[in-house]
Structure 1
Amino acid sequence: MRAIQITEFGGPEVLQTAEVPDPVPGPRDLLIEVERAGVNYADTHRVEDTYLSSTSLPLVPGSEVAGRTADGRRVVAMVDSGGYAERAVADPNTAFDIPDGVDDATALALIIQGATAWVLLRRNVHLAQGESVVVHAGAGGVGSLAVQLAKAFGAGRVIATAGSPDKRETALELGADVAVDSRSEDMTAALVDANEGRRVDAVLDMTGGRVTDESLRALAPFGRLAFYGMASREAPKPVQLPNLMRHSATVSGMWLPHAFMLPGDVVGTAMAEMFELVRSERLRAVLGGEYPLEQARRAHEDLRSRATRGKLALDVTR
């Protein structure tokens, strides 16, 4: 089958089209004929071997797919790897039927980015009615959905950040109350000003570096910062525990695979709620474009340049 494979770690240049053996499903696995494969920041980290989990070579990247099972069901699934290919194997516990009225690209946006936004808001920062929340990269894959979900969950003021005027306009169109330039010299002051002079209750952060440091300083007493990525590739300063106590602040991390381990089918609950919000037109995925499978390298280049917005996907059918 056709796939994108890497045989050495590196940047987008190591992504190569190859013919590889079909995956062999176990007795409980789902074999999926892939039609669309999602592209995520995590994929770029896995390709360069800077991801949270270890990676071995050769590797077919890709952690989310949409397609059909042998019995014709339309499904979206999270996979360990192997998504950038014509066929993929998934654990049934990480696969969800796509309901009528939801297209493949939207389903792909929900399985990782949407579920990430949902878990961050519901389980990490425990967003309460009327609270203020900062969504960094508010026009990105997670951010564009987090802005809308925060509103749906009763946020009092949603503050999005983005690096260009058109991305800030996108965040406002999605429901953000105010959009802040992510390149602001003093993010602490910018966020407090955007919240009408008050410190903020919650921050969803996937940037790292000084943005994380300055966002932490913008938290109100009992404020919460949820850290789920490091797009800048710059580590924030170590958090000093006495400072958390001094400001009654909470910092948490989130890696979506852990949510599948929680009791109560947390991700299934998130997907069901988001599918219904999509069907009722209260939630929409910002779709950043599709690339033919062979153009995976260009998709990674565009994503890393931060020139994209919303959800990127590979069209495996062409």
Structure 2
Amino acid sequence: MRAVRIDEFGGPEVLVPVEVPDPVAGPGQVLLRVVAAGVNRADALVRAGRYHRAGRPPLIPGVEAAGVVAAVGEGVTGIEVGQRVMALDGVNAPGFYAELAVVPAQQVTVVPDGLELTEAAALPVAWLSAWYCLRRLAKVTKDDTVVVKAAASGVGSAAVQIAAVAGARVVALAGSPDKTAWAAGFGAHDALDTSAHPGDAEVEEVLRLTGGRGADVVLDTVGGPAFGRSLREVGHGGRVVALANVALEPSTIDTRDFYPKNAAVLGFQLTNLQIHGYDPREDLRELARRVAAGTYHVPVETVVPLDQARAAHERLERRDNRGKIVLAVQEK
């Protein structure tokens, strides 16, 4: 089968198209014929050798995909050959930048009618992360004001919609006028261009937009110095949810920025959550149902052929994409 492999850590140029043997589904596993694979920040960090859970090369990257079931292993029930499904797997498994992939059955979810596989491939990481953070951790309600950082990213654009549909007031933060305007189109009530309000000015503007109270929920998808600002932007009894450190920098914080406000700091890491028993299928079924019904829109910005994975990573690392980048692996 065709695949894209990392034989050494490095830049996008180390993503090399190769031919490798077809995998075989073992007990409790599903063999997926991959149609589309999502491109995520985690993939780029694995490729660069900067992801904390990454193994050693050679590695086939890719942690989310959608396609058609090609075979099922012994003991698998509820999944049939020929079904359209989406799948999620860990960073060290043979990944989805390939025509075929084997995945544990409990990480495979049937795709409903009305949902394209290209859209479904974007749900298991970015959308699931946004959903879990806002609905299960922060428990967002219609009475909340929610700040979403990097709102033009895959997670961010999902979070703006999830919070807005829940009835919350949403403040979308992004790093350019174009990105800010684009993210606001998903239901944000206010939008903040952080390039025009850097550092302390960002905090001051969030406080102004919230009438000095601060936000009920801050979804920090950035990390590094941004996390310290998130603690200053949350209000009394609020929740800061931290799910990334794409800045790859330490966070310097003052505990006085959150404990006097009785604020909660909540962490989220999808792979570790699954290791400790989280079954993503219920949440993915609900997300897929809502997207198929038109409640949410998955903004797939760029679809790139599998053998051009390098170009997909180059675009991701320029940070000029709005929404999701997806690899087209093969025809449906």
Under a length normalisation based on structure 2, what TM-score does the superposition of the two structures give?
0.90
Give the C-alpha shift of residue 236 in structure 1: 1.4
User: Who is 1:76 aligned against?
Assistant: 86
Which of 282, 306, 310 is residue 323 of structure 2 equivalent to?
310
Preserved CA contact (<8 Å) 1:94 1:260: no
What does 1:159-238 align with in structure 2 at a 5 Å threshold? 159-183=171-195, 184-185=197-198, 186-238=201-253
Q: Work out the number of aligned pairs and report it.
A: 315
Output one character per residue of 1:259-287: Cα deviation in whole Å (capped at 9) or x when no partner. 4467784x222222222222221100011
Of the candidates 108, 121, 126, which is equivalent to residue 113 of structure 1? 126
Equivalents in 2 of 1:53, 1:122: separation in Å?
26
Shift of 1:49: 1.7
8 Å contact from structure 2 (residues 32, 68) kept in 1 = yes
In 2: Cα distance, 1:51 partner to 1:297 partner: 18
Q: Deviations over 1:66-88 (max 9, x none)?
A: 11112111111012242101100
Structure 2 CA distance for partners of 1:263 and 1:83, relative to 1, 3 Å: closer
| Inter-CA distance 150–19: structure 2 relative to 1 (3 Å threshold) | same
Distance 2:257 2:225 in 1: 17
The aligned amino acid for 2:153 is G
Alignment partners' CA distance in 2, 1:181 and 1:134: 13
* Amino acid corresponding to residue 182 of structure 2 in structure 1: T
The separation in 2 between residues aligned to 1:91 and 1:264, in whole angstroms, is 13
Alignment partner of 1:257 out of 268, 271, 275: 271
8 Å CA contact retained: 1:36, 1:313 = yes
Any conservation in 2 of the 1:289–1:311 contact (CA below 8 Å)? Answer: yes
SS of residue matched to 1:69: strand
Alpha-carbon shift at residue 8 of structure 1 (Å): 0.8
| Cα 1:238/1:8, change in 2 over 3 Å | farther
RMSD: 1.8
Whole-Å separation in 1 of the counterparts to 2:61 and 2:254: 33
Q: Would the aligned equivalents of 2:161 and 2:296 in 1 still touch at CA under 8 Å? A: yes
**Structure 2 CA distance for partners of 1:281 and 1:58, relative to 1, 3 Å:** same
Unaligned runs of 5+ in 2: 71-80
Aligned partner of residue 54 in structure 2, secondary structure: coil
| Percent pairwise identity | 39
Select 2:114's aligned residue among 75, 98, 101: 101
AA partner of residue 194 (structure 2): S
Report the secondary structure of 2:330's partner residue.
coil
* Conserved? CA contact 2:6–2:16, under 8 Å: yes
Q: Distance in 1 between matches of 2:278 and 2:314?
A: 38
Quote the Cα distance in structure 2 between the aligned partners of 1:264 and 1:7. Answer: 31
Change (3 A) 1:19 1:173: same
Deviation at 1:204, TM superposition (A): 0.7
Aligned equivalents of 1:209, 1:263: Cα separation in 2? 28
Could you list the runs of 5+ residues in structure 1 that have no partner in the other structure?
none
Separation in 2, partners of 1:22, 1:191: 52
The question of whether the paired residues in 1 share the 8 Å contact of 2:232 and 2:257 is answered with: no
How far has the Cα of 1:211 moved from its partner?
A: 1.8
CA distance in 1: counterparts of 2:25 and 2:286, whole angstroms = 30
Q: Retained in 1: the 8 A contact 2:231–2:258?
A: no
1:10 and 2:10 are equivalent in the alignment: yes
Does the residue aligned with 1:296 lie in a helix, a strand or coil?
helix
TM superposition score normalised by structure 1: 0.93
Query: Which residue of the partner structure matches residue 52 of structure 1?
Result: 52
Structure 1 residues 261 and 5: CA distance shift in structure 2, 3 A: closer
Deviation of 1:124 (Å): 2.1
- Determine if contact 1:159/1:195 at 8 Å carries over to the other structure: no
Query: Which amino acid is 2:269 matched to?
Result: W
Name the CA distance, whole Å, in 2 between partners of 1:239 and 1:21. Answer: 53
For 1:264 and 1:314, the matched residues in 2 are separated by 27
Distance 1:187 1:110, change over 3 A: same
SS of 2:248's equivalent in the other structure is: coil
- CA deviation after TM superposition for structure 1 residue 214, in Å: 1.2
